[in-house]
Amino acid sequence: MSTPLITEPNIALADEFYEALIETHRDLDEAQSHMLNAKLILLLANHVGDLDVLREAMRVARKDI
């Protein structure tokens, strides 16, 4: 049974997370930054592991682009 995609704010210490994300990209060129994002997405997708949730996340992310 799939767990629904959580779209409401749900990150503990959101400011600290954002700072860590920005720091992770520090000193990377654009191609390296894109590679880091791709690897991070795949790692987190593997952690989620639920294809229905991942498809919903892709749909929501693409909306209005």
Distance CA 23, CA 5 (A): 27
Distance CA 51, CA 21 (A): 25
pLDDT range class, residue 2, cuts 50, 70, 90:
confident
pTM of the predicted protein model: 0.86
| Residue labelled with tokens 């995609």 | 5
- Geometric angle at alpha carbon 22, from 60 and 3, rounded to 5°: 30
Distances, alpha carbon 15 to alpha carbons 10, 11, 12, 55, in Å? 12, 9, 9, 27
pLDDT range class, residue 3, cuts 50, 70, 90:
confident
Q: What is the pLDDT of residues 13-59, one digit of tens each?
A: 999 999 999 999 999 999 999 999 999 999 999 999 999 999 999 99
